[in-house]
Structure formats: C-alpha cells, structure tokens
Amino acid sequence: MNTLIERSWLRADGRKGIRNTLVVAYLVECAHHVAREIQMPYRESGAHLIGFSGCYPNDYSFRMMRSLCTHPNVGGVLLLSLGCEGFNRNGLRDAIRASGRPCELLVIQNSGGTRSTIASGRERAEAILTEMASQPRGPMLTSELCVGTVCGGSDGTSGITANPGIGRAFDQLVKAGATCIFEETGELIGCEQIMAARAATPALAAELTASVEKAARYYTTMGHGSFAPGNADGGLTTQEEKSMGAYSKSGSSPISGLIKPGDVPRTGGLYLLDVVPDGEPRFGFPNINDNAEIAELIACGSHLILFATGRGSVVGSAISPVIKVCANPETYRNLPEDMDVDAGRILEGRGTLDEVGAEIVQSIESTAAGHPTASEALGHQEFVLGYKSFSPIGPSCHPTYQ
C-alpha cells in the first residue's frame, strides 16, 4: 500500500502539504479580535486563525508557533502583534520567511489602532493569498504522510472499536513507510512496559518508560488524572481500562522514537509524543482539552489527525484536517454530521476491526487528496496553545535517525 496522492503543495523547504492554508496568527490575546476580524472574510479561501494568548515569553510557545507557521499545510502567514507583549515577533517572522513562505507582520500600536489594522491586514491577506495561489503542486505518496491520533470523549466502546481500528490503520501506514504519532502519556500509565517491549532499542525503551513514569508523578503532584467524569458515565470503570484503550491506537508496529511538541520525525515509523512538561510540575493540566493535544501533534508535522470518540465530539482544528472515528454506534446515529468513520458498527456485527482499519486508511487518502472531513465542511478551526516547558530530546529518543 503506497497510494499516489495527486497534486500536493510543494514547499520551498522540501516538504509537501495536503492543504494550502493562510495562517492569521495573533501573538497575544490583545491582538485576538483584530486577527479574527482580518481572517473572517477569507475563511472560504482557506484562512485559519491561530494564536498565543500569553503576554509573557515562553520557549515552548515560540517553538510551537514556529513549527505551526512553517507546517507543510501552511502556504503563507500574517502575524498580528499588539506591540508590547513579550513574544519574539521578529524572530517568528524571520523563521517563517526563511522557510520560503510569504509572511507579513502588523503591530497594532504602530498601525493606527483596530480599524486601520484590520483594513491593512485584509490588504496583506489578499496579497498573500494571491502569492499562495501560484505555489507549485506535485505528486505525493502515502509513505510521505505524517498522521497523528488522539482520543476524546471516550466511553466503554472506545477501546473496543475506534482505538484498535486506528491501530490497524497505523500498522498499514507504518508498513508503507509513513510516519504515525500517538500521544497522551498521561493516559498510558500502566502500559509503559508493554510499550518498552516494542521499542527499537533498549535505550529507547528506557526513554518510553521514563516518559510515562514522569506523567504519573505529574498527575499525582497536581492531584488529578486523565480519567474524567464523562468517561465513567460512558461505561469506563478504571484508569487501567482507559489506558489500555488509549494504548490500542498505537497498533502493533515497532516504536521508532519518542518526541516532544515541535519535534518533527526525520524518518517514517511509529512515534510516541510526550506531552507532559519536564521539570517540577508548575503548569496545571498538561493539556487543558483535546485541541491542545491536536495542536502539538500538528506541530510535529501531522498532515491530518485521527480523532477517536465514543461519547462524541464536534471539534476540528486549524491547519490540519481532523477525521472523526466514532466508537459507539448510538453516538454515530446521534451525531452523524460530525462523524467520518462508523467504527461502532463492529459492535453490531456490521464490520470487523480489519475492515474499519481499511476504511480509516481510505479516509486518510481521500482527505489527503482534498476531500473535506466532516469538521472541515462544518467550518471547525479550533485551536489552543498555553504555557509549558520541555528539555530537548537526546539521540536515544530517535535511534532510527542517524
């Protein structure tokens, strides 16, 4: 399986995208309204709104914004700054331009205020969109895709249908040479030794184990875990049951590496994304909602996201399309306009895990070829970015790249 995907976007930095998005990004909450007003008229033209709300600088947030604004699905960027925040706006602009993408920066305090900046921003947005329209296209193979996965609104069916269905799809993609990323180390507590047995090297096995142990310490210190009231209402009984369900999204392929937000894998294979901050716990919830996790998967290069849900979720994402894989047949019937794959049919004898896995792969290839997902068609562009702190990964975390 290595399907030819016609007409991807060829970026100057050598990467290939499945969408050609104009990112309008605010660099502090004070610039959010102006950025949104600039972006709104161009939503149908592929303009997406992202941003960082904080006033104080943070290395993680800068790294995330740089990775997102130079993502292969992004063709151009318009940055909005108030002017007195701590974000390194010139550094971000320069990094985006160095990637070969058109990028403009507007500072509201220097641009005449709200109305003047909106008018100027729309002029800049139109100019960038015109330049993006002439960006080259070319073929892309399934093996060149990077696919991330997350689960949200889990219930008792999630670990039986949708999650293992995604695991089957991941196995097919990894076999074809693609890059697959799973995460949620806080929801893998108890699975560390199972993952370690699949590691490409003993050193990586130790890193995988340490990442989950760190998550367990973090949650213990903060006094919370990944098991939510809604999970119990949906039939999940224990943290162990939820962990095994989340783990099943990874499939059965060897684990090639451990990465952190903003790290882009250099070779194909299966990777665990460590989302829990390093150092002493001080940032509250590692991820305050599913879209914070999705943003981190995208920052690691994911062209699209597989979202497994049992109870149901309606969110999508900016930059990379989200494919909803519904675990519960009742949820699929209740929220059909928000779902893409009915994995819950397995429970009713209308399909097998292998068939659902194959359908997920087909949905990935269709989405990569330009077909909109349910959340895209509905206009969902959710985005969340907060404060964290991470240490760089070492060579033992990515042993397959030398």
Residue 131 lies in a domain: yes
Residues 198 and 251 in one domain: yes
Same domain, 75 and 116: yes
Total number of domains constituting the chain: 2
Q: What pTM value is reported for the model?
A: 0.95
Give the three-class secondary structure for 234.
coil
Q: What is the pLDDT of residues 39-79, one digit of tens each?
A: 999 999 999 999 999 999 999 999 999 999 999 999 999 99
Domain end, chosen from 103, 138, 173, is at 138
Q: What is the CA radius of gyration of the chain?
A: 20
Dihedral through CA 103, CA 317, CA 288, CA 295, nearest 10?
A: -50
- In angstroms, the CA 191 to CA 50 distance is 34
Q: Clarify whether residues 103 and 158 are in a common domain.
A: no
User: For residue 381, what are the domain limits?
Assistant: 145-397
Q: Are residues 208 and 336 in the same domain?
A: yes
Two structure tokens written together for 222: 């903060």
Residues 6 or more apart in contact with residue 89 via CB below 8 angstroms:
27, 79, 81, 105, 107
Domain end point (choices 138, 173, 203): 138
**340-353 confidence digits (pLDDT tens):** 999 999 999 999 99
Comparing CA positions, the residue from 34, 339, 360 lying closest to residue 171 is 360
The amino acid at 270: L
Q: What's the pLDDT score for residue 246?
A: 82
Residues 69 and 150 in one domain: no
Burial state string for 170-181 with b = 16 or more CB within 10 A and e = fewer than 16 = bbbbbebbbbbb
Domain of residue 111, CATH code = 3.40.50.2300
What stretches in the chain show pLDDT beneath 50?
none
Can you give the pLDDT at residue 5? 81
Same domain, 153 and 134: no
Q: Could you give the CA distance from residue 280 to residue 283 in angstroms, rounded to a whole number?
A: 9
Residues 67 and 162 in one domain: no
d(CA 382, CA 322): 11
Q: Are residues 279 and 158 in the same domain?
A: yes
Residue 402 within any structural domain of the chain: no
Rounded Cα gap, residues 377 and 97, in angstroms: 30
Task: Give the model's pLDDT for residue 223.
Answer: 80
Residue 282 lies inside a defined structural domain of this protein? yes
Last residue of a domain, one of 99, 115, 138: 138
149 with 226, same domain: the answer is yes
Q: Is residue 32 part of a domain?
A: yes
Residue 341 lies in a domain: yes
Same domain, 308 and 361: yes
251-291 pLDDT tens trace:
999 999 999 999 999 999 999 999 999 998 888 888 888 99
* DSSP type of residue 199: B
Determine phi and psi for 307, rounding to 5 degrees: -115, 110
Do 359 and 302 fall within a single domain?
Answer: yes
Q: Are residues 191 and 288 in the same domain?
A: yes
The pLDDT value given to residue 241: 64
The helix or strand, by DSSP H or E, that contains position 271, with its residue range, turns out to be strand 269-273
Q: What is the pLDDT of residue 282?
A: 86
- For residue 342, the cross-strand partners are 326
Summarize pLDDT for 291-313 with one digit per residue, the tens: 999 999 999 999 999 999 999 99
Long-range Cβ contact pairs of 234-237 (< 8 A, separation 24 or more)? 234/153, 234/154, 234/155, 234/156, 234/157, 234/310, 234/311, 234/328, 235/155, 235/156, 235/157, 236/154, 236/155, 236/156, 236/158, 237/156
CA–CA gap between residue 19 and residue 2 (Å, rounded): 20
